[in-house]
A and B are shown apart, each in its own frame.
Chain A
Amino acid sequence: MLNTNDILESIRMISDENLDVRTVTMGISLLDCADPDPKKACEKIYNKITTKAKDLVSTAEKISATYGIPIVNKRISVTPIAMLLGCAENPDPVEYAIALDRAAKAVGVNFIGGFSALVHKGFSAGDRALIEAIPEALAKTDFVCSSINIGSTKSGINMDAVKLMGEIVRKTAEATADNQCMGAAKLVVFCNAPEDNPFMAGAFHGPGEPDCVIHVGVSGPGAVRAALAKNAKGLATDEVAELIKRTAFKITRMGQLVGNLVSKELGIPFGIVDLSLAPTPAIGDSVANILEEIGLDTCGGCGTTAALAMLNDAVKKGGVMASNHVGGLSGAFIPVSEDDGMIKAAECGCLTLEKLEAMTAVCSVGIDMVVVPGDTPAAVISGLIADEAAIGMVNSKTTAVRVIPAIGKTVGDTLDFGGLLGYGPVMPINMTSPQVFIDRGGRIPAPMQALKN
């Protein structure tokens, strides 16, 4: 039985509050594309992706038009390319990235993730070559995204990889210095990376996944903020949480519906819904604005971490009930350059890198889309990666670092990436050197999982 108010509420959430399905991501295994001849491997990669995903964009667009649901991004994630490099003779990883980019352009998706390596316990054949090729690969391609997993709760943190990634993040920014250092915006360093993440830049198709699968990432900070603005006045915090849960349920049901429809239409199994609040630079579509609606003067002030913890938990509780399988990153995202409220809070100095780090302990992902001064040494970036990974490792959660050293710029300047990646002010970072710690290398042992305190 259709209810007029329900219909109008859905329309309002979509048209006025920026509710959308943020991404439909097709995960494709490339394990069967491995070949000792790198040229043949690249050809197999291109052919498999363009065959499996040939109807992805048109199908998603048809469903979007038929059901009146905006689907913003259509994307592809693939098996970590380092796994394919291992068996090839003298492969050039950049050629693999170019094959991915060509395939992405041929099928019309706007990002392809999986120029990745999983090195949380050490480097195997292909891993180091892939990592060293990241700066060139991301400079020479448009749509390829890269992610490296350098730690996990079960294995600890690979400090050799942490050291290497600090250098690689810098080199990637330098290689794209004439293009807003864009390369670094397509590179993320993970601890506890999920294998079924539909969101970029960290999406890759884990080795435990089926041959081909559809994942969906939902959005909706604007809808949550609007629900709070309208109904939360005078409510106790647990009642606010309940309101967020109810809104998250509705948002996630939309994602579940789209996933089912795309999966059925393409004949490909439906994987997971990523229960996320993914902001955009559009005014009002902001996680920071939700925190401010809950009662903070400005995001980044005292109380931010607690409000975010409640928000993150309520989103998950509402979303879990609405979907069959939940996965990916699932939680509130806090990418600074992609969130209008975060940008403003960073610009006025209320939101600092240290506060962001605290926030990552209670919400999805980590230090995300943060622009740091161009002269930030690689060791400092490595230190930041190690800190963030430690939070993820100890708390058994995913954390990540996606920082963009603004080459030639300093605090007070901005980088403008355009589109959903938004723009960000250069934020101050503590420049005292962790060089000796970073140079030690080795591994941080896996943490105790009992005697928690």
Chain B
Amino acid sequence: MKAVITVIGKDRVGILARVSGACAEHNVNVLEVTQNILQGLFSMIMVVDVTNADMEIDQLASVFGKLGEELGMDIRFTRTELYEAMHHI
């Protein structure tokens, strides 16, 4: 099962390391990463596989939400269906 992690906020050292580290810790496999920086605003989107993750997605959402608070960034961990529903007919 796939999920999306979005990370938005002010750029700083070690964001990718911290987020991918948290993925590894919970057995979440990173499939794709896109990131860019626009006018100092960092945005990263990770498509991940949660088939073998050690917890449910709502719990992962809470874990990554707390990581976001720690880093001062908006981090969301969600299933992909919302984005498909909103933007595809």
Binding site for B on A (CB under 8 A): 2-4, 6-11, 15, 62, 65-69, 250, 253-254, 256-257, 321
**CB–CB B58/A2 < 8 A:** no
**CB–CB B62/A65 < 8 A:** yes
**CB–CB B78/A67 < 8 A:** yes
Where chain A touches its partner, the secondary structure class is helix
A387: min CB distance to chain B, Å: 40
Extra pairs beyond A66-B78, A254-B86 (13, CB < 8 Å): A2-B4, A2-B47, A4-B34, A6-B87, A10-B86, A15-B74, A65-B58, A66-B56, A67-B78, A67-B82, A254-B85, A257-B81, A257-B82
Q: Which of B43-89 contact A (CB under 8 A)?
A: 43, 45, 47, 56-58, 61-62, 74, 76-87, 89
**CB–CB A6/B86 < 8 A:** yes
B51: min CB distance to chain A, Å: 15
Count of inter-chain pairs, beta carbons less than 8 A: 64
A159: min CB distance to chain B, Å: 47
**CB–CB B82/A2 < 8 A:** no
A227: min CB distance to chain B, Å: 13
Cβ-based interface call for B8 (8 A): yes
Binding site for A on B (CB under 8 A): 4, 6, 8, 34, 43, 45, 47, 56-58, 61-62, 74, 76-87, 89
Closest to B89 in A: A321
- Cα-based distance from A19 to B86 in the complex (angstroms): 12
Chain B positions within 8 Å of A4 at CB level = 34, 45
Some 5 contacts from A to B, beta carbons below 8 A apart, are A4-B45, A7-B6, A11-B6, A66-B78, A253-B86
Looking at A67, A69, A253, the one whose CB has the most chain B CB atoms below 10 A away is: A67
Closest to A65 in B: B58
Chain B positions within 8 Å of A257 at CB level = 81-82, 85
